[in-house]
Structure 1
Amino acid sequence: MKQQTKPTRYSPYITISREEWARQRDDAALVFENDISKLQGLNEPLTSEEVLAIYLPLARLLNLHVTAAQQLHATTSRFLNNHTHKVPYIIGIAGSVAVGKSTTARVLQRLLSAFPNHTRVDLVTTDGFLYPNRVLEQKGLMNRKGFPESYDIRKLIQFLANVKSGMEKVSAPIYSHLEYDIITEEQQQIESPDIVIVEGINVLQVRNREQREPAVFVSDFFDFSIYVHAAEKDLREWYIARFESLRSTAFQDPHSYFHRYAHLSDKETVEMATHIWNEINKPNLEQNIEPTRYRASLILEKGSHHFVQSIQLRKT
């Protein structure tokens, strides 16, 4: 018997089961199994079945949205009797630390670039728009890195405004997770993309009204937005597991900002990761990230196994 989409009553979203969502994929689309190991994040399982069941249908949906936007642009151009320069379709991806946003962004970038009408897909992370450590130290914000106030929001908004205005070449700052700081001598170059994916924990954030806020918000530039959701207890476990893996890999590099954690015992590693989660990541999740969840166009609901178990799609 065919499983029906749940018509969530009095909700702006339609809830779709994993099984029904998987039926929406385009079987003619390509699956890049050789790329899976390159696309997944640390301690974030990614399988060909997950790509087929979740990401191919999502890429197909996004392709339909992008195609409609391109057709609307062409119609408007004809109406104005000119050929206005195309503007990129911008997709925002939000969610907690350790939830798998980066993997979602990379997979979508790979799949969306395979469609012939939008082969140029760029991925930008908002980490590059964090204030440099020296500025955070001056402001006393090093322990609030990742909170809304630790970002140069005006710089991020200006970047998005430039992209959305159709500028042919736009540059974005680059962040080093090894050095835990901005790389001042390098820039990411964005040149006439069809799609730009913007990934970051607070991209759906509406700034605190007590702060001097800009007239526009980051999400105002998004054509479609995705929130990757998981229960806090699962997020905590995933963060601790990732911290343990990093201790024996990236933290071993003497140039790593976190090299001081490289020689912790197993017990000390868990204690330190738990402390960081409880003191920084959990408050940021509860105060700033989680409240933006229902501003998204689509929500990917993950289970404890790290795989998507259901999807909520905003009604239109």
Structure 2
Amino acid sequence: MVPSRFSPYRFFSAEEWGHFRAGQPLNLSEAEVERLRSLNDPVDLGEVGRILLPISRLLSAHVEASQLLFRQRRRFLGDGAAEKTPFVIGIAGSVAVGKSTTARILKELLARWPSSPKVDLVTTDGFLYPNAVLEAEGLMRRKGFPESYDVGRILRFLSDLKAGVRHVEAPVYSHLVYDVVKGASVTVDQPDILIFEGLNVLQARDIPPDGKAVPFVSDFFDYAIYIDAEEADIRRWYLDRFMRLRDTAFRDQRSFFHRYASIGEEEALAIAEGLWRDINAVNLRENILPTRPRADLILAKGPSHRVERVALRKL
């Protein structure tokens, strides 16, 4: 994004953003960051303290304001029986850009604030249609595109959470077998904060001319974060990750991609290039990048995979 006088965002360098930490102590260790970060993501304690800790401070302020507004609205409506609703944070961005690492570390940081909020993390992967369905519909090579998700199930999940329903279940996805785990689920029980992470969580749809309500997933978000980077950098990170997985997870015989572990490096790289060009780059250009302006906070990464600039939506 290019700053301009008409932009709805304020822009900060990574160094400027780091000042908003305001002396808040970092209570994560290097070992914990190592455990939380994804393969090929270089985030370290310095990056956490400079970028993510100030974000957690900002989000905590938003959560407190939201809780105050909820109590005031309950008094206004005279609704003493109303259940609390979670503050929902959406995190969007391309594959290989660092969404999962950011979500996991923010979850830990937010949960360690003095108020000790209950924080849950759910990804949209579990809401993908099973591979059998995608195969039958000819969508396997559109996996991760908006049409590959059970959007109705996502909306029911988020709607129940916002309604204060107890014990809401979310499906589970296995990256090892590259499929939804049949019969498996995680239970989310009235958290104070829910982080909902996925490629297309800020996706909008056409609005019907008759004015009827068309719910978007992001309608249930209280705050939205988009992780951004130049396409050439994301492509390089994706290829690097694929080649590293070829030497690690792909060697597990249960892996959906096990067949790539035994082929030559040149052939494997060509396959990764094809997957990027035909699937992930197309999804980024057509569906993911266009949602960037809908975010409240944009983290722009440089070639080193580290955040170089932060864009914060003006109030």
Q: Please say whether Structure 1 and Structure 2 have the same fold, judged by a TM-score greater than 0.5.
A: yes
Cα shift at 1:19: 1.0
CA deviation string 1:214-267 (max 9, x = no partner): 820000000000000000000000000000010011100111100110112121
Determine which of 19, 22, 44 is the counterpart of 1:23. 19
> Which whole-Å CA distance do the structure 2 matches of 1:246 and 1:238 have between them?
12
Structure 2 counterpart of 1:239? 238
Structure 1 counterpart of 2:284? 285
Q: Do residues 68 (structure 1) and 68 (structure 2) align?
A: no
Residue identity in the other structure for 1:284: N
- Asked if structure 1 preserves the Cα contact closer than 8 Å seen for 2:207 and 2:214, the reply is no
Q: Do residues 98 (structure 1) and 79 (structure 2) align?
A: no
- Asked if structure 2 preserves the Cα contact closer than 8 Å seen for 1:298 and 1:312, the reply is yes
> Which whole-Å CA distance do the structure 2 matches of 1:202 and 1:191 have between them?
24
Residue identity in the other structure for 1:246: L
Structure 2 counterpart of 1:3? none
CA deviation string 1:35-59 (max 9, x = no partner): 1111110000111100110000000
TM-score of the superposed pair, with normalisation by structure 1: 0.94
Cα shift at 1:97: 0.5
> Which whole-Å CA distance do the structure 1 matches of 2:3 and 2:73 have between them?
35
> Which whole-Å CA distance do the structure 1 matches of 2:296 and 2:195 have between them?
14
Cα shift at 1:72: 1.0
TM-score of the superposed pair, with normalisation by structure 2: 0.95
Shifted more, 261-270 versus 285-294: the winner is 261-270
Structure 2 counterpart of 1:42? 39
- Asked if structure 1 preserves the Cα contact closer than 8 Å seen for 2:227 and 2:299, the reply is yes
> Which whole-Å CA distance do the structure 2 matches of 1:8 and 1:161 have between them?
37
CA deviation string 1:50-90 (max 9, x = no partner): 01100000000000000000111122223334252100000
Residue identity in the other structure for 1:264: I
Structure 1 counterpart of 2:48? 51
Evaluate the alpha carbon distance shift between residue 74 and residue 280 of structure 1 in structure 2; reply closer, same or farther with a 3 A threshold. Answer: same
Structure 2 counterpart of 1:175? 173
- Asked if structure 2 preserves the Cα contact closer than 8 Å seen for 1:129 and 1:151, the reply is yes
Q: Do residues 159 (structure 1) and 119 (structure 2) align?
A: no
Partner SS state of residue 29, structure 1: coil
Partner SS state of residue 187, structure 2: strand
- Asked if structure 1 preserves the Cα contact closer than 8 Å seen for 2:26 and 2:49, the reply is no
Evaluate the alpha carbon distance shift between residue 7 and residue 241 of structure 1 in structure 2; reply closer, same or farther with a 3 A threshold. Answer: closer
Structure 1 counterpart of 2:198? 200
Structure 2: stretches of 5+ with no match in the other structure: none
Structure 1 counterpart of 2:132? 134
Identity of aligned residues (%): 51
Shifted more, 104-113 versus 17-26: the winner is 17-26
> Which whole-Å CA distance do the structure 2 matches of 1:215 and 1:250 have between them?
40
Residue identity in the other structure for 1:283: V
Cα shift at 1:7: 7.5
CA deviation string 1:139-180 (max 9, x = no partner): 100010000000000110110000111112100000000111
> Which whole-Å CA distance do the structure 2 matches of 1:276 and 1:53 have between them?
34
Determine which of 3, 6, 11 is the counterpart of 1:10. 6
Residue identity in the other structure for 1:303: G
- Asked if structure 1 preserves the Cα contact closer than 8 Å seen for 2:127 and 2:151, the reply is yes
Structure 1 counterpart of 2:220? 221
Cα shift at 1:208: 5.3
- Asked if structure 1 preserves the Cα contact closer than 8 Å seen for 2:92 and 2:225, the reply is yes
> Which whole-Å CA distance do the structure 1 matches of 2:166 and 2:136 have between them?
35
Structure 1: stretches of 5+ with no match in the other structure: 1-5
CA deviation string 1:70-129 (max 9, x = no partner): 111122223334252100000000000000000010010000001233521000000000
Partner SS state of residue 308, structure 2: strand
Residue identity in the other structure for 1:315: K
Partner SS state of residue 20, structure 2: coil
Residue identity in the other structure for 2:61: L
> Which whole-Å CA distance do the structure 2 matches of 1:29 and 1:72 have between them?
28
Structure 1 runs of 4+ aligned residues shifted over 6 Å read: none
Partner SS state of residue 23, structure 1: helix
Residue identity in the other structure for 2:16: E
Q: How does 1:257-276 map to 2 (within 5 A)?
A: 257-276=256-275
Shifted more, 126-135 versus 262-271: the winner is 262-271
